[in-house]
Amino acid sequence: MPTQCAETPAVRPARGYGSTTRWEAGFGGVVVDHLGARRVRAIAGVVLAAVLVGGCGLADAIEDAQAKEQERRERTADGPTKKYKVVRVVDGDTVELANGEHVRLIGIDAPEDGVCGAVAATKKLTRLVEGKKIALVRGTDNRDRYGRLLRYVDRGATDVGLVMIRSGLAIARYDSRDGYGAHPRERSYLKADRKAAEVGCTAKPAPPEPKPPVSPKPKPKTFVDAPSGCAPGYSPCVPAYPPDLDCADTGPVTVTGPDPHGLDGDGDGLACGGD
């Protein structure tokens, strides 16, 4: 049995305003757009694509089209958009401009320094904007309590805040859900936040335990460190010369230096049966 979807809302013209026509959609008269036929056709194209693909995704398609049109209006409301160069990324949601201003991205929150994900978020934002020219789009408020500019950051047609949310390295925050009031791109940010994968952190491996110190091998005794009363150059101790001793007096010995007693006849270092 075919899937039953909500009735497809008709997009219809309402009252005209000079050369601009207002268009309305059938979801209880929700206004889709009122800025002319060209953008209505663009939105209608998105809606038609949703109908062809799944039908039931129509509401989402209209929502996305409205969000995109809102962003387009923000970028063009004040004429050509001025570009600003980012000289430093402070963290995953704040950048510094060449003019010294610090800009806090609207509607997102990245982990603070020292918190899981902070390093990855900062690196992501750095790759996106550091050393590049960006456009700043104002939202509802101008500055936060720290004096930072509150702006959306766009690089070309890319909404940098939205990219950070989709990457899972920032969340949608400081919006109508937590007492800050709605902001123009809130709807698209919340939608991206719901779909974003959570980025976990891998704990750093524990450092290996230090190896126990290796004791140096004892050096054979030589005439330098011979005990008092012992002839230098023998191990174990052989009494000092004179008197002259032979193997019957000493037993097996190792000759490590001078051989005043002449015990090592063949000069191989082993004497008196030690070989």
- pLDDT digit string (tens) for the chain, length 275 residues: 444 444 444 443 333 333 333 334 443 434 444 444 455 455 555 545 555 555 545 666 666 676 666 666 655 444 457 999 999 999 999 999 999 999 999 999 999 998 999 999 999 999 999 999 999 999 989 999 999 999 999 999 999 999 999 999 999 999 999 888 899 999 999 999 999 887 766 556 667 778 788 877 766 544 444 456 788 877 888 888 778 778 777 778 888 888 787 777 777 878 787 65
The ranges of the chain annotated as CATH 2.40.50.90 are 83-195
For CA atoms 141, 133, 80, 47, the dihedral sign is negative
Neighbours of 120 (CB within 10 A): 17
Nearest one of 145, 215, 204, 218 to 180, comparing CA atoms: 145
Taking CA atoms, 203 is separated from 77, 116, 155, 196, 198, in Å, by 47, 9, 33, 22, 16
Distance CA 234, CA 232 (A): 6
**Rounded to the nearest 5 degrees, what angle is found at the Cα of 140, between the Cα atoms of 22 and 121?**
115
Nearest one of 221, 28, 186 to 107, comparing CA atoms: 186
For CA atoms 227, 228, 232, 237, the dihedral sign is negative
Element (H, E) at 172: strand 171-172
Say if CB 254 and CB 235 are below 8 A apart.
Answer: yes
Distance CA 34, CA 16 (A): 9
Which token pair is 86? 């980012």
Would you identify the CATH topology of the domain 83-195?
OB fold (Dihydrolipoamide Acetyltransferase, E2P) (2.40.50)
| SS3 label, residue 138 | strand
> In the beta sheet, which residues pair with residue 151?
105, 138
Q: What is the dihedral of CA 152, 157, 159, 164, to 10 degrees?
A: -140
pLDDT of 63 reads 67
Whether the ω angle into residue 242 lies within 30 degrees of 0, i.e. cis, is: yes
